[in-house]
Amino acid sequence: MPGAQERVLRRRIKSVQATKKITRAMELIAASRIMRARARLEAAIPYSSAVGNVLSGVMHESGSTATSGSAVLVCTIVADRGLCGGYNMSVLRATTHLLEGLTDLSKQYKVIAVGKKAASFFKFSGQELAASFMGFSDKPSYEDAVNIADSILGLLDAGEIAEIDLVSTRFKSAGSQVVEVRKILPVDTDSSKASALDSESDADSGSSLDPGSALDGSMKHSALERARNGYLELEPEPAELLPIVIRRYIESELFTALLEAATSEHSARQRAMAAATENADELIKTLTRAVNRARQDAITTEIMEIVGGAEALRQASLED
C-alpha cells in the first residue's frame, strides 16, 4: 500500500511540473507582449487627445450635443481568453452595477460586448446585446475600432442614443490597472482631455492625473481657448464638420480603450501566471515531502516484515 501511494504522488509531481512549464511559458510570453502593447498605447494617445480637443471646439461652435435619443449605450471591453486573474470579472462586475443603476433610474440601455468573455457572460445572464465583437483582444487594430464604431454610429444616426458609456480597464502602470466607466458622448466642451497614460515614475510617486478630467491652473486650456489663440481653425462649417469629427473621435476613443485593455490584459496574465508558477513550486515541494514520507513508510514496513520473518524462523528452529 505505501508503494502504491508513492507511485500516485510521483505521477502528481510530474503533472504539476508539466503545468508549471506551461504557466512559466505563458508568463514570459505575456511579459514580452506588455512592452509592445504599451508602446502602441503611448503612440495612440496624442492623436486621441487631439481629436477630443477638436470635437470639443466643433461642438462648442455648432452648439450641438451630437445625441438626440433617450437610451444609454454601454460598451464593455474585456478579453477573449481567461487565465488572467480577476481582469475579466472586474470589468463585467462594473458593467452589471452600471446596468442595475440605469434600471433603478428607469433608463433604457443597450449593450455592446467586446471580447468573447463578455459575450459569453451576457448570453448566460440573458442580456440582449446590440452587437458583439471578439477575436482581437490581445492585439487590436484600428480596423477593429472602426467596426465597433460603425455599430455605435448606426444607433447614433438612428436617433436612439443619448449617452455612450465605455466600461474598460485603464492602464496606469505595470502594477496598476483600474476599471473605469467613461462617458465618451456627449462631450464636455468646457474642459480639455488629459493624457490617458501615467508614467512609471508618476505611478511610483503617487502623483498621477485622472484621465478624462480637466487640468487645473496654468495647464488648463479648453478647445475654445485654443481656437481663439489660433491653434484650431474649422473648415468647412462646424455643422458640416461635426459628423466627420464625431466618427473620428469615437474611433480614436475605442482604439485607445482597446489598446489599454490589451496592455492591462497582458499585465494581469503575467501576474496570474507568475502566481500560478509559484504555487506549482510550493505544491511540488509539498508532494516531494509526502513522497519521502511514503518511501520511508515503505522502507519501515519492509524492515518490520523482515524482522518479523526472522523472528518467526528463530522461534520455529527453537521449537524443532
CA atoms within 13 A on the CB side of 278: 6
How far apart CA 57 and CA 69 sit, in angstroms, is 22
pLDDT at 292: 86
Q: What pLDDT is attached to residue 231?
A: 55
Q: Is 243 buried (19+), middle (13-18) or exposed (0-12) by CB count in 10 A?
A: middle
| CATH numbers and ranges of domains, the chain | 2-22+274-319 (1.10.287), 32-270 (3.40.1380.10)
What is the predicted pLDDT for the residue at 227? 42
pLDDT for 242: 81
β-bridge partners, 185: 164
Q: Coil, strand or helix: which one is 290?
A: helix
The pLDDT value given to residue 159: 81
Contact (Cβ atoms closer than 8 angstroms) between residue 299 and residue 67 = no
CA distance 55 to 221: 14
Predicted local distance difference test score (pLDDT) of residue 215: 32
Q: Is residue 180 within 8 Å of 168, Cβ to Cβ?
A: yes
HSE of 233, CA atoms in CB hemisphere, 13 A: 1
Q: How far apart are CA 101 and CA 225, in angstroms?
A: 36
Strands 176-185 and 161-173: antiparallel
Q: What is the pLDDT of residue 51?
A: 85
Blockwise average pLDDT, block size 10, the chain, 320 residues = 74 91 92 89 87 78 67 91 88 92 89 92 89 89 92 86 89 83 75 40 38 34 45 68 86 92 91 91 91 81 81 78
Cis before 236 (ω within 30): yes
